[in-house]
Amino acid sequence: MHVKSIQKITSFWFKLSGAITLAILMIIVSYILIKGIGAINLEFLLTKPVDSGREGGILPMILSSLYLLAVTSFIAIPLGVGSALYMAEYNENHKLEVVIRFISQVLASVPSIVFGLFGLAFLIFFLKTGWSLLSGGVILSLMSMPTIYQVSEVALKSVPEHYKEGCYGMGATKWQCITSIILPTAASGIFTGIILALTRAFSEAAAVMYLVGSSLEMPTSLLDTGRPLPLHLYVLANEGISMENAYGTAFVLIAIVLTITILSNHIISKYEIKLGV
Partner 1 sequence: MIKEYIIEKGLFSINTILIILSSLMVIFLLNESIPIIQNYGIGDFIFGLTWSPDNNIFGILPMIAGSVIITGLSLVLSIPLAISCAIFLEEIAPSNIKKLFKPIIQTLAGIPSVIYGFFGLTVIVPLIRNNFTGSGFSVITASIILAVMILPTIISVSQDAIKSVPENYKEASFGLGSTHWQVIRNIILPTALPGIVTAIILGIGRAIGETLAVLMLVGNVNIIPTSIFEPARTLTSNIALEMGYATGIHYNALFTTATVLFAMIIILMSICWMIQKRGVGNAC
* Contacts (CB under 8 A) with partner 1, residues 177-206: 196, 199-200, 202-206
Q: How many CB atoms lie within 10 A of CB 176?
A: 13
13 near partner 1, judged by CB under 8 A:
yes
Amino acid type, 240: G
Residue 158 beta carbon to partner 1: minimum distance, rounded to whole angstroms: 8
Cα angle 72, 272, 156; round to 5: 55
Residue range at the interface with partner 1 (CB under 8 A); choices 24-32, 40-48, 55-63, 217-225: 24-32
Per DSSP, the chain holds a count of helices (H) and strands (E) of 11, 2
Among 53, 57, 153, 190, binds partner 1 (CB under 8 A): 153
Using CB under 8 A, pick the residue from 110, 124, 222, 241 that binds partner 1: 110
* Interface segment toward partner 1; rule CB under 8 A; list 42-50, 171-179, 181-189, 218-226: 171-179
| Chosen residue from 48, 59, 66, 118 binding partner 1 by CB under 8 A | 118
Q: Does the protein bind partner 1 through residue 140 (CB under 8 A)? A: no
CA dist 233 and 53 (Å) reads: 10
Site string for partner 1, 220-239 (x = CB under 8 A): ----------xx-xx--xx-
Closest C-alpha to 191, from 152, 154, 160: 152
DSSP 54-121: TEE--HHHHHHHHHHHHHHHHHHHHHHHHHHHIIIII---HHHHHHHHHHHHHHHHS-HHHHHHHHII
Q: Give the per-residue contact string, 249-268, with partner 1 (x = CB under 8 A; - = no).
A: -x--xx--xx-xxx--x---
